[in-house]
Structure 1
């Protein structure tokens, strides 16, 4: 019975993660007006699911890190009361944040759950130093790094996109006959690259004009960056949640647990992501397509790099940190919303700790 309850609580946490996190890879698509919410969340959910499946093969380091090993004694990491407390505390925290429209870190909630449940079960043997050094510091540093990278990269991408998208350039080919002597004639083709509307691209006899759809390519690059962020999120978050079911035993292997978590994440994202989507897409800052593309590139690089090396960064903190960088760069950030998000980040870990601690006392 306890194992079934653990699976249900883990799936509840995975659904909360999907509702709060799936849209984060595609929020810039909505905010820049490229895609509507429904299309963006379906797009992001599919890419997240692909990343979740890939995590089975590429991100086992995160599954080990979030099993609780080194934070509590190894024998405790397989204790059902401990695991139930972690899952319950983290799930309640993330669902509360989702209901209020605040983008919070499931990683922080899980870390808080591990610490709170550990204090309830084995108060003298909780590895606070290990948790701080190996897990908490990357979570705190990653949003600051994302903000700084966004301040540098986003304006450059924005300027490049604006310059390229002013008007679609074109390639023209002029064909003329060249006569070399009375018996020899040949066709010579001249290739010209120019801005659309220039004289070089004006219609003329023997001239072929081909427009290069640069704006379409840039929009597709934005879609590709959103897919990459969502893939990275699935790669980074799935093993953290699946670790709870794997640690609980019952014959659930990494593959089965991960696929189950991916399914619950997808359902949560499709059914309950509207409030967080509104916050990230419209309430943090104004953005155009170039700024959205730059922010997504920052998030992709940081999250995929962290997943590859087993560093538990939060996709939430990285992607939202990139939005903060956009806001700082264009001066259109909404200070009240940013303060509320930062407050929610500060509350996430202690709230999950308190809830997990309470559950741990009840269940031990």
Structure 2
């Protein structure tokens, strides 16, 4: 019974992840009016699914990072109740954020949920050093780096546009924009799928490969059905953007997510993509600081919210 509940709660998390995260890679395509919402979400779905499938080969290292092993004793990390609590808490937090238009981090939610269930299970015996090294440090640094790179790359594009009249070749720029969005979605699928699959890795008769395919399908469905609010926030509310700004933000997000996947770091695509859009908006002097501060507050509350919900859920499952 516990294993069936674990499987279903993991699919719920995957669906929620798709709802909150799938559109982030194509937000600049829609925001710059390079394409319509329908085309953007379809492109996001196809490329995210491709990345999720590719994670079977290229990103298996992240499965261990989010299994709880090394952070908690194996007796806890291998317990179905622990994984169910993490999946339910993360899924609820991410889905509520998606439905209210806040692009939060699934990585943050998973981190908080692991911490919450771990604290209830073993108290202060949680390995906080491992938690900090694996999760907290990369998540703190990524927005600062993304904003700085967003400013730098957009400035470079502006300089090159003036020098070489790049705007005259709009079709080429749009093609590059589509390609960069596809790369972001692909790498997000590559990076996020193993994190979610780690929760069902304790089910012996369910292979990692089968888990990744199933999770990939749930992520795709969540994005198709519940991305509208996230699209509105990221494409229109943070800043208005032109084609060059959109492409610049995408390049930053792509570089950082690919680097994170390569080195096995759980950097949040959500934080990187929002921060890069904010960076190019700063250069264009059209950024909506109020919206960015609201998103920032949602990031701050993400981890403790998931921690509390996970702790309560784990205690109820023990009941």
Q: Which TM-score applies when normalising by structure 1?
A: 0.85
Q: Quick one: distance in 1 between partners of 2:158 and 2:85?
A: 46
- Residues 98-117 of structure 1 mapped to structure 2, 5 A cutoff: 98-117=98-117
The 8 Å contact of residues 115 and 353 in structure 1, kept in 2 or not, is answered as yes
Q: Secondary structure at the match of 1:34?
A: coil
1:218 Cα deviation (Å)?
1.2
The 8 Å contact of residues 225 and 296 in structure 1, kept in 2 or not, is answered as yes
Give the aligned partner of residue 346 of structure 1: 300
- Residues 20-31 of structure 1 mapped to structure 2, 5 A cutoff: 20-31=20-31
1:161 Cα deviation (Å)?
4.4
1:159 Cα deviation (Å)?
4.2
- Residues 263-278 of structure 1 mapped to structure 2, 5 A cutoff: 263-278=217-232
Q: Quick one: distance in 2 between partners of 1:164 and 1:232?
A: 31
The 8 Å contact of residues 158 and 291 in structure 1, kept in 2 or not, is answered as no
Q: Quick one: distance in 1 between partners of 2:266 and 2:73?
A: 20
Give the aligned partner of residue 191 of structure 1: none
Q: Secondary structure at the match of 1:71?
A: coil
Tell me how large the CA RMSD over aligned residues is: 1.1
How many aligned positions are there?
A: 317
Q: Which has the higher strand share?
A: 1
Q: Quick one: distance in 2 between partners of 1:329 and 1:62?
A: 35
Give the aligned partner of residue 95 of structure 2: 95
With over 3 angstroms needed to count, the CA separation of the structure-2 counterparts of 1:265 and 1:158, relative to structure 1, is: farther
Q: Secondary structure at the match of 2:206?
A: coil
Deviations 1:66-122 (A, max 9, x none): 111111112211101111110111011001101110000000000000000111111
1:45 Cα deviation (Å)?
1.0
Give the aligned partner of residue 197 of structure 1: none
Give the aligned partner of residue 311 of structure 1: 265
Q: Quick one: distance in 1 between partners of 2:167 and 2:91?
A: 47
Gaps of 5+ in 1: 168-213
The 8 Å contact of residues 159 and 290 in structure 1, kept in 2 or not, is answered as no
Q: Quick one: distance in 2 between partners of 1:349 and 1:251?
A: 32
The 8 Å contact of residues 20 and 273 in structure 1, kept in 2 or not, is answered as yes
1:130 Cα deviation (Å)?
1.1
1:158 Cα deviation (Å)?
3.8
With over 3 angstroms needed to count, the CA separation of the structure-2 counterparts of 1:226 and 1:166, relative to structure 1, is: closer
Give the aligned partner of residue 135 of structure 1: 135
Q: Quick one: distance in 2 between partners of 1:30 and 1:95?
A: 22
Q: Secondary structure at the match of 2:33?
A: coil
Give the aligned partner of residue 206 of structure 2: 252
Deviations 1:330-361 (A, max 9, x none): 11111111111001000110000000000111
Give the aligned partner of residue 241 of structure 2: 287
Q: Quick one: distance in 1 between partners of 2:195 and 2:269?
A: 12
Q: Quick one: distance in 2 between partners of 1:271 and 1:5?
A: 23
1:155 Cα deviation (Å)?
2.1
Q: Quick one: distance in 2 between partners of 1:127 and 1:331?
A: 43
Give the aligned partner of residue 73 of structure 1: 73
Deviations 1:247-304 (A, max 9, x none): 3x14112111111110000000000000000000000011100011011011101101
Q: In the alignment, does 2:192 pair up with 1:237? A: yes
Q: In the alignment, does 2:3 pair up with 1:10? A: no
Q: Secondary structure at the match of 1:123?
A: helix
Q: Quick one: distance in 2 between partners of 1:341 and 1:124?
A: 30
Give the aligned partner of residue 120 of structure 2: 120
The 8 Å contact of residues 302 and 318 in structure 1, kept in 2 or not, is answered as yes
The 8 Å contact of residues 158 and 294 in structure 1, kept in 2 or not, is answered as no
